Structure 1
Amino acid sequence: MPTRIEQYQKRVLDKSLPLSEKVVEAFYRYPRHLCVPEYTVAEAYSDHPLLLWNKPPFLSTISQPSFVLKILDMMNLQQGHRVFELGSGSGWNTAMLAYLVGETGKVVSVEVIPELAVRAQKYLEQNKIFNALVKLGDGFEGDTSEAPYDRVIFTAGSAEFPNILFDQLKVGGLMVFVRENDLGYDFLELIEKQENGKPLILQTIPCSFVSVIRKSAGDTDASPA
C-alpha cells in the first residue's frame, strides 16, 4: 500500500502530467514537504501556493506544485545547462533545477528577501547540492557570474520586461517570464532569444504570481556564517 505522502505526491503528479521522466525524478528526489516544514504534509501537497513571507515590503509564496512541475517541463532543461532563477523562495525549485542540469550544470538563484535567501541556501547545503548557489540581491538585473545562460526563469511577475537579464541569455536560450498587465492577471510566457537578439514568445499561459520587488540587497551569496 502506498504511504500517505506517496498518495499526496501522486495527486500532484496526476494534475501535472504529461511530464518528462527527469522532472518526475526531480519531484521525488526533493520532496516538497521537506521544504516547507512550517506546513503540514497535507498542506505542502495541496495544489495551491503557500505563503513563505509576508512582512512589508516583501511578500513571497511557494507556487502551486503542479504548475511548478509543468514549468520545469516546458523549459526542456538539459545536462550542463546554466540557469538563472529570479526568486529562490524555499529553495525547492532551485533544487529541482540543479537536479535537471546535473553536476556539469549550474544554477544561480537571486533572492531579494534576506531571510529567504539564507533559508534557501541552507536547504541546498543540507541536501549536498553543490551546483546551485543562492545570492542576495535584485534578480531583475541578473548576474553575470555564469552568463550567458541557457535558461532563465522568473518566479514573480513584472509589467516591465527584464532587458538587462535577457541580454544575459544565450541566443536560442529560453526564458520563462511572468508578465503582469493592467487587468489584474498575469501571463507566463515561454520566450526564445532569436539570432537577431529579439524575444520570440513561444507559449503563453494564464497564471498568478506575486510581483517582483525591485530592491537591491547587495551582490553577495547567502551562505550562512
Structure 2
Amino acid sequence: MTTNTATLDALRVTMIEKVQKMGWAKRPEVERVLRDTSRHEFVPEAPLEKAYDPYNAVITHRFSDGSSLSCASAPFVVAMMLDQLQVSPGSRVLEIGAGTGYNASLLAELTGPTGRLTTIDIDPDVTAQASHALHAAGYDDVRVVTGDGAAGVPENAPYDRLIATVSPWDIPNAWWDQLAPGARVVAPLRWRGQARSVAFTYTDGRLVADSIELCGFVYLVGEGEGETSAPITNDQTITVHWDRDQAVNPDALRGVFDQPRVTAWSGVTIAGDEPHDGVWLRLTVTDRRVCRINAPGGTPPEVCDPVEACRAPALVDGDSMAYLASRRRETDDGARWELGAYGHGPAATKLTERLCNEVRAWSVERDQRKPNLTVYRAGTPDTDLSGTIIDKTNSRFVLNYDIIGCLPSDELIGEAVKRKHEVGIVAEDASIENPSNDQEL
C-alpha cells in the first residue's frame, strides 16, 4: 500500500491524542510504540481513517454463524491494556489471542531485542494471517503458535508477562503454572455477566489485582462452559446470562414480563457521557443474585427497557427480576439521566428497592473507589479467604472493599443523602411508582 507519510503521521497523532484524552497511553513507552507502529499494515482491508480510529475494533475473522472470532481491538483498549501490563525491555511475554498480529508487534517493540514474545491462537487461519503480517512488518522473532490458548505455551515458559486479548471466564491451570514469580497478568475476565480488563501481580501463589477496567472481547475458545445464557421470552429475544454457581432458573422466569411492571427511581443522576458501570461492579461484591439481561434493539420499551439494550445488570430471585434502568430529567445544569430499576414478578418491589439502594451507595464516591479482587487457585480453603467468593473451575475470585468501602449500604445511603448536591442527586425522594406512571426516556 502506497500512502502519504504525512497523512499517516497525522492520523497516528490524532489517534494518540484521543486515546490520551480518554486517559490511556499514560506510560511513555506505550505512547511511543503506538506512534511508531503502523496499524494499517495489520488491517489492510480497513480504510486508513478506520484503521486509526481510536474507538474502532476491526473484525477480521468470523465463525460460520457470522459471530466474530478475531478482531483488531480498538486502539484505546490496546493502550489501556498495555498500560496495565507494564512491559519492560527483556520481558518474556505470552499473548493469548494472536488477532491480526498488531498487538504482538507492539509487545515486540516494548520487550526489545532481548525480550521473548510468544503469541498463540486456536484458529490456524488467524495465526497464518498474523504470521504473514508480522513477517511483512519485520517482526520475525515473534513466535506464533497455533493451539489452545487455555493451555498456554509451556515450552517457552516461565513468563514475566501474560496478556489475553480474548475473554476468559476463568484463569486456566496452565496459565498459573507458566508464570514467573512477580509476573503481571492482564486479562478481560468475566464474572456476573460483565467483562473487565484486570491487571494482576502474581505473588505468593495468588493474583492480586491493581487495575480493573470495563471492556468487551471475543470469548476464549476451548475453555468450557462457565457462563450460561437462556431466553426468557417466548420469541427467544430477551436473554439472561449468569454464572454456573448462581441459582437462576430460566424456566421460572418465562413470562416474567407479562407481570405488571414495578418502577423505582434512586434519585441519583448522571450526565449523558458519565459512566455508571461501577454500579454493576459494586453489585458483584454485594449481591450474589446479580447477572446480565440482554434486550436487543427494537424491543418495545413497554416490555423491557434496560439502561443499555444489550448489557445491563439484573437481580434474579426465583420467578422475579429487576434490572437497571434510566430516565431523562431536566435540571438547572441541563439534561441528566436518573438511574433506577424496573422489576417484574412477586418479589419485584424488593428487588427494585435493592437495586436503587446499591445505586445510592455507589453514588457516594462513584468510580473513585473500586473493589479489591484477588484470585486464588481452586482448593484454597475458605479460612484463607475474606470477602465475596466466586468459585470458578481452576480458581476462586475474592472481591471486597477496603474498610471505608465496606460500610453497610444503609450507612452509605445516609452519606449519599448528606452529599446529594455534590454527587448530582435530584431533589425528589426515590419512590415506587405505579407502572402506569412510568416516564419514558
TM-score by length of 2: 0.46
Q: Could you say which residue in structure 2 is the equivalent of 1:142?
A: 152
**Quick check: which has more Rg, 1 or 2?**
2
Point out the more displaced range, 206-215 or 5-14.
Answer: 5-14
Q: Could you say which residue in structure 2 is the equivalent of 1:159?
A: 169
Matched residue pairs, number? 212
Q: Could you list the per-position Cα deviations for residues 122-153 of structure 1 after superposition, in whole angstroms to 9, with x for gaps in the alignment?
A: 12222222331110000111111221100000
Q: Take 1:15 and 1:172, find their aligned partners in 2: how far apart are those partners?
A: 32
Asked whether the equivalents of residues 108 and 117 of structure 2 are also in contact (C-alpha less than 8 Å), the reply is yes
Q: Take 2:189 and 2:31, find their aligned partners in 1: how far apart are those partners?
A: 27
1:32-71 pair list within 5 angstroms? 32-46=39-53, 47-56=55-64, 59-71=69-81
1:65-214 pair list within 5 angstroms? 65-183=75-193, 185-194=194-203, 196-214=204-222
Deviation at 1:5, TM superposition (A): 2.6
Q: Take 2:69 and 2:52, find their aligned partners in 1: how far apart are those partners?
A: 21
1:16 is aligned with what amino acid?
V
Asked whether the equivalents of residues 16 and 35 of structure 2 are also in contact (C-alpha less than 8 Å), the reply is no
Asked whether the equivalents of residues 105 and 131 of structure 1 are also in contact (C-alpha less than 8 Å), the reply is no
Q: Could you say which residue in structure 1 is the equivalent of 2:7?
A: 4
Q: Take 2:170 and 2:80, find their aligned partners in 1: how far apart are those partners?
A: 24
2:42 is aligned with what amino acid?
C
Asked whether the equivalents of residues 81 and 197 of structure 2 are also in contact (C-alpha less than 8 Å), the reply is no
Q: Could you say which residue in structure 2 is the equivalent of 1:222?
A: none
Q: Take 2:136 and 2:8, find their aligned partners in 1: how far apart are those partners?
A: 21
2:26 corresponds to 1:26: no
Aligned identity (percent) is 26
Q: Take 1:62 and 1:188, find their aligned partners in 2: how far apart are those partners?
A: 16
* 1:59 match: secondary structure: strand
Q: Could you list the per-position Cα deviations for residues 169-188 of structure 1 after superposition, in whole angstroms to 9, with x for gaps in the alignment?
A: 111110001111342x3111
Q: Could you list the per-position Cα deviations for residues 79-105 of structure 1 after superposition, in whole angstroms to 9, with x for gaps in the alignment?
A: 110000000111000011011101110
Q: Take 1:73 and 1:192, find their aligned partners in 2: how far apart are those partners?
A: 14
Q: Take 1:167 and 1:178, find their aligned partners in 2: how far apart are those partners?
A: 19
* 1:36 match: secondary structure: coil
Q: Could you list the per-position Cα deviations for residues 3-48 of structure 1 after superposition, in whole angstroms to 9, with x for gaps in the alignment?
A: 3333321222113325333222222332111110111001111222
Deviation at 1:208, TM superposition (A): 0.7
* 1:150 match: secondary structure: strand
For structure 1, which runs of at least 5 residues remain unmatched after alignment?
216-225
Q: Could you list the per-position Cα deviations for residues 38-71 of structure 1 after superposition, in whole angstroms to 9, with x for gaps in the alignment?
A: 1100111122211111123761111111120221
Asked whether the equivalents of residues 198 and 209 of structure 2 are also in contact (C-alpha less than 8 Å), the reply is yes
Q: Take 1:78 and 1:213, find their aligned partners in 2: how far apart are those partners?
A: 29
1:200 is aligned with what amino acid?
V
Asked whether the equivalents of residues 41 and 133 of structure 2 are also in contact (C-alpha less than 8 Å), the reply is no
For structure 2, which runs of at least 5 residues remain unmatched after alignment?
224-441
Point out the more displaced range, 204-213 or 158-167.
Answer: 158-167
2:28 is aligned with what amino acid?
E
TM-score by length of 1: 0.88
* 1:145 match: secondary structure: helix
2:27 is aligned with what amino acid?
S
Q: Take 2:149 and 2:102, find their aligned partners in 1: how far apart are those partners?
A: 17
Q: Which has the higher contact order (CA 8 A, sep 6+)?
A: 1
Deviation at 1:119, TM superposition (A): 1.0
